[in-house]
A and B are shown apart, each in its own frame.
Chain A
């Protein structure tokens, strides 16, 4: 007879959870060599990974002739930008860093407020600031290593400090969203002015990584309002408006970016009436990027609009708000908050896609990487591997950094898990 328990023993005191810390040996058994198949997999993968790491490490540290990057670091960053006007770029960075930092700090403060007021969930995990800034710091360190210039190092440090200062200030002041956005926008405008105004350098003479960033940022900023209008149009109750917006969105989503860039490069001139000068190639590329990106932004925003519960609109109607007010005051604010991760994703795509303007002849990062291998000192030495690896690294750190931050944001907003 088994012991049957009908009467209850006194409540046992809460025990500690059993220790789940595994010894390295147990860990290996559970994670690497559980079954014979697992063991084989582990061995095969270990060999392949070791070989790849060895080859990559040997290339980066031993074989690669990085001199071409060292000598051309300025070229890669700004290309044809006049050298005696470079101070303008640094000045612009010195303005941009604190204002962007201020924006990030304000956003962090806003999130804190929401958590404190119980309007948002507390962050699931806290990553250290160093870890979060990791890819950016790595990129800066590598660039400075190649630059080997005290002046650049000093200026970069100042930019970093100003950025961090802006962040702390933004968190302290904790301005409302629109005001913080105004500060960021003002920073961008002043920075742009510093580069271009008073005998400065217009964007048709920008190049290198600077042009890459400009096309990506300018592209998304200009595509955003256009995309929102298209999304609203696609959800309009007016069939004619809807049809036109659908046609536009499907057309641009159905063709490759390079076709749109060809359109910008070769066709825009024909679309203008006689007497109007054709805009510069950079401008035309930017127009193409905006036309293309707007269609994708529209679809992202449409997703956000669909995510706003119908009850919200009905409640607003019950309160007697006008349709325009309902859209601008009730629907859009909720929808746009939900589309931020999607927009960041689109920005990352655009950042990578700006490399395509190399095909129509703009000297952005990728094109410079190719061109410098044709310099007399480096001609026909197969240095394209070094320059492309460098360019790929720059793109990778940027895209990886942003996608990691975007995932954090997504978790914070509680999206993406359902």
Chain B
């Protein structure tokens, strides 16, 4: 099932998506290589979130093709499950399961989906909790934690399935300013470790430091793609310039 050497981990070809009569994605083409970190930015409503939500089928695309690690997303439920196991996702609103402890949140999917035994699931979970630097909170409930801690638990939960790809949907937008750094640090470490990632974010300093490639979206289209240097120093498109002028 794994991708051939050199083939893109994620490939989007002409992906379009409608909500009613509103077209959220207008024929998006994008390829992401193994170990590549792609940061997506753009004004709100530009289709960034919709795009990455299509990659693990939280939204169904209407036109075009999406291939993840050699598996094409179709209506076949087995393909969807296969892709979701390989793709971890972190949400803006954390979406931790409030009725389970932190440890249970992290071990639920490995135990139910990967069929690991309890000891292994727990051991791995603690590893990931160490990695996001909150092992001591393992037996608390999510709502007893701060936003930054919750988001780090959410990262650990996604990592627990040992995915090949991580998607981040505005992971710091719902956080108080003083907590943003602790989450970004964890994501940056993850990027250094060689994880293939797509990060939707407005944190431009972070993007500059971490991204291999920048993608700028507006009105459901990819307007500009380039290396961070190129993108920040010398943007080509008028819409990119405008956006950068507003945000920087």
User: Does A associate with B in a complex?
Assistant: yes
Residues in chain A within 8 A of chain B (CB atoms): 1-6, 8-9, 11-12, 14-15, 17-18
Q: Which of B24-32, B82-90, B149-157, B191-199 participates in binding chain A?
A: B24-32
User: Which of A2, A6, A11, A12 interacts with B11 by CB under 8 Å?
Assistant: A2
* 4 pairs of A and B residues whose beta carbons are closest in the complex: A17-B18, A12-B27, A5-B29, A4-B31
Q: Which residues of B contact A15 (CB under 8 A)?
A: 16, 23, 26-27, 63
Q: What distance in Å separates the Cβ of A295 from its nearest Cβ neighbour in chain B? A: 34
Question: Can you name the residue of chain B whose Cβ is closest to the Cβ of A1?
Answer: B6
Contacts of A11 in B (CB 8 A): 26, 221
**Chain A residues with CB under 8 A of B221:** 11
Q: Contact: B31 with A12, CB < 8 Å?
A: no
Say how far A13's CB is from chain B's closest CB, in angstroms: 9
By beta carbon, the residue of chain B nearest A7 is: B225
B127 at the interface (CB under 8 A from A): no
CB distance A2 to B23 under 8 Å? no
13 contacts between A and B (CB under 8 A): A2-B7, A2-B11, A3-B31, A4-B33, A5-B13, A5-B29, A8-B29, A8-B222, A8-B223, A8-B225, A11-B26, A15-B26, A15-B63
By a CB distance below 8 angstroms, the chain A residues around B18 are 17-18
Minimum CB–CB distance for B57 against chain A, Å: 17
Cα(A5)–Cα(B225), bound, Å: 10
Chain B, residues 172-213, CB within 8 Å of chain A (1/0): the string is 000000000000000000000000000000000000000000
B interface list, Cβ under 8 A from A: 6-8, 11, 13-14, 16, 18, 20-21, 23, 26-27, 29-31, 33, 62-63, 221-225
Question: In the complex, which residue of chain A has the Cβ closest to the Cβ of B213?
Answer: A6
| A126→B109 CA distance, assembly (Å) | 44
Q: Is the interface of A mostly helix, strand, loop or mixed?
A: loop
A12-B6 Cα distance, complex, nearest whole Å: 29
**Chain B positions within 8 Å of A8 at CB level:** 29, 222-225
A4 neighbours in B (Cβ, 8 Å) = 8, 31, 33
State whether B8 touches A2 (Cβ < 8 A): yes
Given contacts A11-B221, A18-B62, A18-B63, is CB(A5)–CB(B27) below 8 Å? Answer: no
Contact indicator A9/B29 (Cβ below 8 Å):
yes
Contacts A14-B23, A17-B62, A18-B62 given; does A5 touch B30 at CB 8 Å: yes
> With A11-B26, A17-B18, A17-B21 as given contacts, are A5 and B62 in contact (CB-CB < 8 Å)?
no
Complex interface: chain A residues within 8 A of B7 (CB): 1-2
- 7 additional A-B residue pairs with CB within 8 Å, beyond A8-B223, A15-B23: A2-B11, A2-B31, A6-B225, A12-B14, A12-B27, A14-B26, A18-B18
Bound-state CA distance A4–B16 (Å) is 18
Q: Which residues of A contact B20 (CB under 8 A)?
A: 17
Closest to A3 in B: B31
Shortest Cβ distance from B16 into chain A, in angstroms?
6
Alpha-carbon distance between A311 and B171 when the two chains are bound, in angstroms: 31
User: Of all chain A residues, which has the CB nearest B11?
Assistant: A2
Query: What A residues does B225 contact at CB under 8 A?
Result: 6, 8
Q: In the complex, A9→B222 CA distance in Å?
A: 10
Task: Give the most central of A8, A17, A18: most B CB within 10 Å.
Answer: A17
Chain A min CB distance to B73 (Å): 16
Chain B: minimal CB distance from A3 (Å): 8
A174 to B246, CA, bound (A): 46
Task: Report Cα–Cα, A5/B16, bound state, in Å.
Answer: 16
Contacts of B224 in A (CB 8 A): 8
- The closest CB in chain A to the CB of B31 belongs to A4
A6 cross-chain contacts in B, Cβ below 8 A: 225
| Assembled-state Cα–Cα distance A4/B21 (Å) | 30
Query: Which residue of chain A lies nearest to B223 when distances are taken between CB atoms in the complex?
Result: A8
Beta-carbon contact of A12 and B26 below 8 Å: yes
Question: A372 vs B13: C-alpha distance in the bound complex, in angstroms?
Answer: 75
For residue A412, give the distance in angstroms from its CB to the closest CB of chain B: 21
Within the complex, what minimum Cβ distance (angstroms) separates B61 from chain A? Answer: 10
B31 touching A17 by the CB < 8 A rule?
A: no
In the bound complex, do residue A5 and residue B63 qualify as a contact, i.e. CB atoms below 8 Å apart? no
CA gap between A264 and B23 in the complex, in Å: 64
Rounded to whole Å, the gap between the CB of A236 and the closest CB of chain B is 32
Residues of chain B within 8 A (CB-CB) of A1 are 6-7
For the complex, what is the distance from the CA of A232 to the CA of B17, rounded to whole Å? 52
CB distance from A361 to the nearest CB of B (A): 52
Instruction: Point out the residues of chain B lying under 8 angstroms from A3, CB to CB.
Output: 31
Minimum Cβ distance to chain B for residue A229 (Å): 38
Residues of B within 8 A of A18 (CB): 18, 62-63
Distance, CA A237 to CA B118, complexed state (A): 53
CA distance A14 to B31 in the complex (A): 22
Nearest chain B CB to A14 CB, angstrom units: 6
Most buried by B among A1, A2, A11, A14: A2
Give Cα A339 to B222, complex, Å: 47
Q: Looking across the interface, which residue of chain A has its beta carbon closest to that of B12?
A: A5
A335 to chain B, nearest CB (A): 29
Nearest B residue to A12 via CB reads: B27
When chains A and B are docked, how far (Å) is the Cα of A169 from the Cα of B21?
38
A11–B28 Cα distance when bound, in Å, is: 10
CB distance from A198 to the nearest CB of B (A): 61
CA distance A388 to B205 in the complex (A): 74
Closest Cβ neighbor of A17 among chain B residues: B18
Residue in chain B with minimal CB distance to A13: B26
Distance from B235 Cβ to chain A, minimum over Cβ atoms (Å): 13
- Residues on A with C-beta less than 8 A from B27 are 12, 15
